[in-house]
Structure 1
């Protein structure tokens, strides 16, 4: 345990997240509709990816600013590694997004300009608002991870392994640093009722804004494909959105409750196995998943067997 700043209860010492610079590449042979038979789901995933090079730099700047004010060694180190992970994330997402625009969807550039402007405005808000937004968005990622990991076979069977491996790597690291933004917010602003209310608002502020921009992006892609006005396509999309809400909604509601902590959310075993396997694998091993497998297991089965 470490003593929390500002007289808060002591914080449990979390394992320091591991920065992993993995060389995911997106060559010209990748189809922007990379999930066979599920163009709506691919569009949803692509829409989420489009937001990351604008959202995550904002998170990084906010976490850096708050940790400098707190002056706590443990939280500063956690924030530093959080920022390294998020930097790696948005850099890979940017390469993926450039591929999407170059190959098929140049209209996404207009949505990117709107996101850039939106985050520039958000950067002018008070620091507590920005940190509440950061901690709030991070709470949503736990629900997204649950959805993508637990439903990985139903969602990604036979999909392009290069894209699926990249997407699930991102979710593994979101789980790994799940407490960092919350702890930093609590240390800086969490003593008062107003601090709690700001954090609760941030859960929905951060999550819903990202969802809104993602929705604009996947609508544009489905319009480009001529699917947006097709009833069957809209019904398939509605099923995916319903599944998303069913998994993510409870996480958001719990995150907004007084006294809630990400520590109370159980990590998926698949995520824990991925982390353990990566730690036992050669550093240059590329973590590509077998999306043709009926289980889509972690890509480190040999390393896990040796470690056992």
Structure 2
């Protein structure tokens, strides 16, 4: 029996405008996480289609149950991120073109690649999430707490549920494909596609969101772009798209390297996500949810120990 619990959440993005820089203390992180919202809609739409296509092939009822719960969680994530992105589009209508381009990339991927490839794509990308999201959740006091509570709560919910279903995509891949060598070989093309989609989203931000609103060059998360822009602005400073900080500049380097090593380890054969170190905030989130707290307002509706799992508590 699966341990996953699909939770449908409404973060109230229609109640008031959603700022592009939703964490005013970290515009680069705001831009990066907004790009994740765009990617999540396309990626999770692809996952749902792949699971539906896989369902007739699932002969093990345990795997089938895991897949259905995983699909429901991902479907809820896609819906919530779509509401976040819809709010950004209301403010910056040109971003509809950016969303269409992102969705188009995943629609093409669904049509042009095999089911095995898309299951490998899902397994490879999902395997990176626990170490990467641990870095983010362990630093929630910096990345999330200073920001818009709706957006912060959306990402906290999404990331802790990714930790909860950290093994699901590999369980499905192993049951239906069962070829670790294939998964490892496909990883370079998979992550090239992920970065292509993120770049499309960030380029769209630069094009459709005024600099005074985004505050940074949204492509600054790409080292190649930072190097190119530094040279370019020496000769043509008027072409600058904004400053180029990194989203994680303020986080401890040791923790960043640990997350990077964990992401690399996740692509190795015989990787088992259940053995990964988990963020303390995940347990705190599930506990609060089970106790009936409003987790769509993690900070403003939380009990007095709201910083549990943050750096100050470790």
TM-score by length of 2: 0.79
2:29 matched residue in structure 1: 41
The 3 A distance-change label for structure 1 pair 289 and 111 is same
Residues 177-192 of structure 1: matches in 2 within 5 Å? 177-190=165-178
Instruction: Supply the distance in 2 between the matched residues of 1:98 and 1:198 (Cα, whole angstroms).
Output: 37
Counting matched residue pairs gives 279
Give the match's secondary structure for 1:234: coil
Mapped contact 1:137–1:202 kept (Cα < 8 A): no
Give the match's secondary structure for 1:257: coil
Which of residues 93, 103, 109 is equivalent to 1:122? 109
Cα deviation, residue 208, structure 1: 4.0
Residue 212 of structure 1 pairs with residue 196 of structure 2: yes
Instruction: Supply the distance in 2 between the matched residues of 1:180 and 1:269 (Cα, whole angstroms).
Output: 20
2:280 matched residue in structure 1: 269
1:55 matched residue in structure 2: 43
Give the match's secondary structure for 1:259: coil
2:6 matched residue in structure 1: 19
The 3 A distance-change label for structure 1 pair 128 and 20 is same
Which of residues 56, 77, 100 is equivalent to 2:65? 77
2:264 matched residue in structure 1: 253
Mapped contact 2:132–2:260 kept (Cα < 8 A): no
The 3 A distance-change label for structure 1 pair 288 and 265 is same
TM-score by length of 1: 0.80
Structure 1 unaligned regions, length at least 5: 1-12, 299-308
Q: Higher mean Cα deviation, 62-71 or 257-266?
A: 62-71
The 3 A distance-change label for structure 1 pair 77 and 237 is closer
| Structure 1 segments (4+ residues) deviating >4 Å | 229-232, 240-245, 291-295
Instruction: Supply the distance in 2 between the matched residues of 1:265 and 1:286 (Cα, whole angstroms).
Output: 25
Mapped contact 1:203–1:252 kept (Cα < 8 A): no
The Cα offsets for residues 209-254 of structure 1, whole Å up to 9 and x where unpaired, read as 2333223323432453334365972134583799796454323311
The Cα offsets for residues 142-180 of structure 1, whole Å up to 9 and x where unpaired, read as 133112201111222421111101111001111111111
Instruction: Supply the distance in 1 between the matched residues of 2:158 and 2:247 (Cα, whole angstroms).
Output: 23
Give the match's secondary structure for 1:28: coil
Instruction: Supply the distance in 1 between the matched residues of 2:101 and 2:249 (Cα, whole angstroms).
Output: 28
RMSD: 2.9
The Cα offsets for residues 188-207 of structure 1, whole Å up to 9 and x where unpaired, read as 222xxxx2122124444444
The 3 A distance-change label for structure 1 pair 251 and 107 is farther
Residues 19-168 of structure 1: matches in 2 within 5 Å? 19-26=6-13, 27-104=15-92, 106-124=93-111, 125-168=113-156
Q: Higher mean Cα deviation, 198-207 or 72-81?
A: 198-207
The Cα offsets for residues 50-104 of structure 1, whole Å up to 9 and x where unpaired, read as 1122110111121232242021111111111111111111001111101111113
Mapped contact 2:29–2:247 kept (Cα < 8 A): yes
The Cα offsets for residues 228-286 of structure 1, whole Å up to 9 and x where unpaired, read as 3659721345837997964543233112212111112122121022112212326xx34
Q: Higher mean Cα deviation, 74-83 or 137-146?
A: 137-146
Structure 2 unaligned regions, length at least 5: 218-238, 310-314
